[in-house]
Amino acid sequence: MQLEVLGVGGAGCRIADSIRAAEPTDHSFLTDVFAFDTDESSLNGTVIPESHRSRYGPDDIDGGLAGDLERGRTVGQAYADDLLESVPRPAAEAADAILVTVGLGGATGGGTVPALVATLQQRTDVPVYVLATLPADREFDAAADRSRSGPRGPAADAPRPNAAANAVATLERLDGVASAIITFDNEDWLRPGEPLRDGRDRCNRELATRVAAVFAGGGDSEGPVAQTVVDASDVRRIVGDQSAIVALGYGDQTVETSGSRFGLGLLSAEPDIDTSEAVSAIETVVRKGIRGKLSLECDPETAERGLLIVGGPPAWLNRQAIAEGRRTLESAIGGSGILGGDAPRPDGDRVFAAVVLAGVESQRLEALRAAADRTEPAD
């Protein structure tokens, strides 16, 4: 499938940057990537071409909004329509979906994205998904920060006491507006004592890897075509259009590729690839994708629907093992709303499994709501 990515705010622009960098060279899935921010210096820190970047808002907020979500909403509502006219989007009609990336703890992205998504929904017939990072406790909870990392040093992040409240308020405004909300919890992915500024690039790469694995699909580029192609309609069917909370899982494993004649047989092992090895590799990555660390911690059993994509060198994509992996996912979520497919990657040396869990419930969201209640309300 073909995806247009719009990054909004500092965190959203960095995530968009990372997705652009994660696009497989042999399997393009991005029509365009854009960056929108109120902070000129933040925009200039991205590698997105200048023609695809736009600084917006009145001059007195260049440098950011300092966590003021109410001001962010005012600016976002005033500029949402103009943003889509501020950059050339010649490939917009080629996109099967739009992905808006944002950090939920901030005021620029959190204030603008609900209005921008609503505008996009009025202008296009394709789904508009939001890819949102949740703030870590250490960003807004000083006591939690000290217990993890001791006194603040020169590398510590500036406190963001409104981050939890901003995140919860923005999620509420996206409900019923975004087609789906794909979530990534910084708290779960940062290392103990690690400031966000030190870990965010690594976290963004992890997130971008999962996004590329899901959206790159299996049938839009030259080369081997998947036996079962996962296309835009499959993704739409699984994540829905009712603002479902979505978690992503991922697992991979390096495999031996020397001496293999990849491309001669797509889904059956070549003579020099032992079938049991191929089956074992797929079983391993599927298990990691379902039961390993998810982008949002949740019990897979709470998911309403699921999608499994298994990819890698064609000779390693054992058809029977992929079918068994789909049954494993179906069993894990306790339902029948499952789709699956394969993604041949002839030039790769890793077998991977990407898992999409849609409509999940998470205690992390409840914890953020409780933290928000302890701070001044965003309204």
Q: What is the pLDDT of residues 55-90, one digit of tens each?
A: 998 887 766 677 789 999 999 999 999 999 999 999
Q: Count of domains in the chain?
A: 2
- Angle, nearest 10°, between helix axes 163-174 and 69-85? 50
Task: Show the CA angle centred on residue 232, arms to residues 226 and 237, nearest 5°.
Answer: 110
**171 & 293 share domain:** no
**262 & 334 share domain:** yes
Residue 240 · residue 342 · CB < 8 Å:
no
The pLDDT of residue 75 is 93
Domain of residue 58, CATH code: 3.40.50.1440
Which residue bears the tokens 């109120």?
38
Helices (H) and strands (E) in the chain, counts: 13, 10
| Cα gap 200→134, rounded to integer Å | 12
Residue 139 · residue 102 · CB < 8 Å:
no
Residue 138 region by backbone torsions, left for phi larger than 0, else alpha for psi between -120 and 50, else beta: alpha
In a domain, 236, yes or no: no
In Å, how far are 10, 112, 127, 279 from 38, measured between CA atoms? 9, 10, 26, 50
Domain of residue 288, CATH code: 3.30.1330.20
**134 & 246 share domain:** no
The pLDDT of residue 33 is 97
Q: Any residues with CB less than 8 A from the CB of 54 and at least 6 apart, and which?
A: 34, 35, 36, 43, 83, 86, 87
Residue 205 · residue 18 · CB < 8 Å:
yes
Whole-prediction pTM:
0.90
Which residue bears the tokens 């975004």?
178
Residue 315 · residue 262 · CB < 8 Å:
yes
Beta-strand pair 97-103/3-8: parallel
The pLDDT of residue 139 is 87
| Cα gap 209→58, rounded to integer Å | 35
| Cα gap 40→24, rounded to integer Å | 29
**272 & 347 share domain:** yes
The annotation status of 186 as a binding-site residue, yes or no, is yes
Cα 227 vs. chain centroid, distance in angstroms? 25
Taking the CA atoms of the chain, what radius of gyration do you get in angstroms?
A: 21
The pLDDT of residue 152 is 46
Task: Show the CA angle centred on residue 371, arms to residues 370 and 375, nearest 5°.
Answer: 115
**138 & 266 share domain:** no
Which residue bears the tokens 């394709």?
126
Token pair listed for 78 = 């005033």
The annotation status of 204 as a binding-site residue, yes or no, is yes
Burial class (CB in 10 A: 0-12, 13-18, 19+), 60: exposed
The annotation status of 109 as a binding-site residue, yes or no, is yes
The annotation status of 108 as a binding-site residue, yes or no, is yes
**69 & 153 share domain:** yes
In a domain, 77, yes or no: yes
The identity of residue 374, as a single letter, is: R
**11 & 158 share domain:** yes
In a domain, 177, yes or no: yes
57: which DSSP letter? S
Which residue spans within the chain are E strands per DSSP? 3-8, 30-37, 53-55, 97-103, 128-134, 180-185, 244-254, 305-312, 338-344, 350-358
**207 & 250 share domain:** no
The pLDDT of residue 59 is 82
**93 & 208 share domain:** yes
Q: What is the pLDDT along the chain (379 residues), one digit of tens a residue?
A: 899 999 999 999 999 999 999 998 777 899 999 999 999 988 999 999 999 999 998 887 766 677 789 999 999 999 999 999 999 999 999 999 999 999 999 899 999 999 999 999 999 999 999 999 999 998 887 544 444 444 444 445 567 888 999 999 999 999 999 999 999 999 999 999 898 889 999 999 999 999 999 998 655 555 566 788 889 999 999 999 999 999 999 999 999 887 544 444 444 444 478 899 999 999 999 999 999 999 999 999 999 999 999 999 999 999 999 999 999 999 999 777 899 999 998 888 999 999 999 999 999 999 999 999 887 544 4
**276 & 333 share domain:** yes
The residue among 63, 4, 58, 66 whose CA lies nearest residue 29 is 4
Q: Whole domain around residue 290: which residue ranges?
A: 242-358
**271 & 332 share domain:** yes
In a domain, 225, yes or no: no
The pLDDT of residue 379 is 47
Residue 75 · residue 111 · CB < 8 Å:
yes
Three-state DSSP class for residue 137: helix
In a domain, 207, yes or no: yes
